């Protein structure tokens, strides 16, 4: 019984129980003076002490493994979250690049083609006003109608491009806030 008490005292780090186990062993040894019994008890005490130390080490190793596993799960979650953030940032940059290009195209169409068509329509209107030939005037009116249709189509396309586009600096601020 003494070796078991010693094992339990060492495992639980209960020093009072350890002292009691050693005192009971000394008391037992004093009563019985048989050398083989004393050696047997001492051997059992040494084995129980050795096993208690190994059990303590084993328990510490188990706790270390659990701790490392928990840390690895936390790190994996953190890496997954960072990857998601990076993918979202990349998608935002692509989206903002498209919007920037769309705004540039709309501005160029408006500033270049739209102004030239307006100029051609005004010049054609002046020609129609001063033209006296009815056959020529009807051809000029058809040309003006075609140019008006082209101008309206370009105007609608530019408005559509701008309606789908957004203010990029504002959008970037909103994306950072989200």
For the cut 80, the answer to whether the pLDDT of residue 103 exceeds it is: yes
Of 168 and 69, more confident: 69
Domain extent for 7 = 2-177
For residue 14, which phi and psi values (nearest 5 degrees)?
A: -100, 95
For 167, the 3-state DSSP assignment is coil
d(CA 152, CA 158): 10
Identify the CA nearest to 2 among candidates 42, 34, 32.
42
pLDDT beyond 80 at 131: yes
Comparing CA positions, the residue from 101, 88, 78 lying closest to residue 164 is: 101
Residue 169 has pLDDT above 60, yes or no: no
Q: What is the pTM of this model?
A: 0.48
Structure-block tokens of residue 104: 């540039």
Distance CA 4, CA 41 (A): 11
**Total domains present in the chain:** 1
Q: What pLDDT, on a 0 to 100 scale, did the predictor assign at position 55?
A: 79
Rounded CA gap, 106 and 72, in Å? 51
- Cβ–Cβ under 8 Å, residues 114 and 151: yes
Q: How many CB atoms lie within 10 A of CB 131?
A: 15
Q: What is the pLDDT of residues 78-92, one digit of tens each?
A: 999 999 999 999 999
Task: Give 21-68 pLDDT, tens digit per residue.
Answer: 666 666 666 675 666 666 666 777 677 777 777 877 888 999 999 999
């Amino acid at each position: 019984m003494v070796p078991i008490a010693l094992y339990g005292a060492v495992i639980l780090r209960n020093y009072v129980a350890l002292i009691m186990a050693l005192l009971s062993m000394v008391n037992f040894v004093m009563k019985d003076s048989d050398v083989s019994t004393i050696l047997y008890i001492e051997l059992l005490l040494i084995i129980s002490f050795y096993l208690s130390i190994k059990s303590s080490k084993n328990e510490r190793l188990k706790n270390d493994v659990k701790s490392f596993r928990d840390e690895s799960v936390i790190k994996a979650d953190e890496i997954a979250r960072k990857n998601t953030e990076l993918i979202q940032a990349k998608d935002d940059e692509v989206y903002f690049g498209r919007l920037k290009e769309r705004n540039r195209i709309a501005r160029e169409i408006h500033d270049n083609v739209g102004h030239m068509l307006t100029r051609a329509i005004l010049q054609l209107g002046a020609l129609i006003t001063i033209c006296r030939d009815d056959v020529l005037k009807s051809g000029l009116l058809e040309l003006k109608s075609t140019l008006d249709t082209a101008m309206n189509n370009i105007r609608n396309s530019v408005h559509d491009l701008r309606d789908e586009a957004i203010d990029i600096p504002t959008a970037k601020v909103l994306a950072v806030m989200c």
